[in-house]
Amino acid sequence: MKKLFCLLMVLSLAACGGGRSGGDALELEELRGSWVVVNYWAEWCKPCIREIPELNALDREYPGVSVLGVNYDGASGEELQRQLTALDVQFPTLPDDPALKLGTTRPVVLPTTLIIDPEGRLVETLVGPQTLETLAQATGQAETAPADE
């Protein structure tokens, strides 16, 4: 299990995109011991678009959770940046699909969200749009007050 968590952390080192550190790569230590939420999204997916503000809030309001995105269509470079800006994605986006490395298959329904516990275990796969409340519950944060309260 520790190997799986380390693998995810290595993937996240190459993360690019939204709000954290001005879009800089994440530091390995930044995610160690945190809940990790990996969300698959696409710009043509209306439920994904509705879910993005919930994921932004989770990433912003719960310091024990790190949200990482996966662009389902594999957009990169300027095209990815255009989509991130247009949809106001504020969390980092992984450059490659981590599904195989996480021991799961690529989702066929969007949005799909993978929940990885602080020990690095894939503990839940959520299919369909989520709310801040369902995401907080899935990551063990339901009893924890958001950081801004």
Number of domains observed in the structure of the chain:
1
- How far is residue 54's CA from residue 48's CA, in Å, rounded to a whole number? 10
The mean pLDDT of the chain is 83
- How far is residue 38's CA from residue 112's CA, in Å, rounded to a whole number? 8
Please tell me which residue, 42 or 143, carries the higher pLDDT value.
42
* Bridge partner list, 125: 114
Q: How far is CA 76 from CA 11, 48, 102, 120, in A?
A: 15, 18, 21, 27
| Domain with 65 in it | 2-9+35-138
Task: Report the CATH number at residue 47.
Answer: 3.40.30.10
- How far is residue 45's CA from residue 71's CA, in Å, rounded to a whole number? 11
Which of 18-22, 28-32, 124-128 ranks highest by mean pLDDT? 124-128
pLDDT in tens, 87-136: 999 999 998 898 888 889 999 999 999 999 998 889 999 999 999 999 99
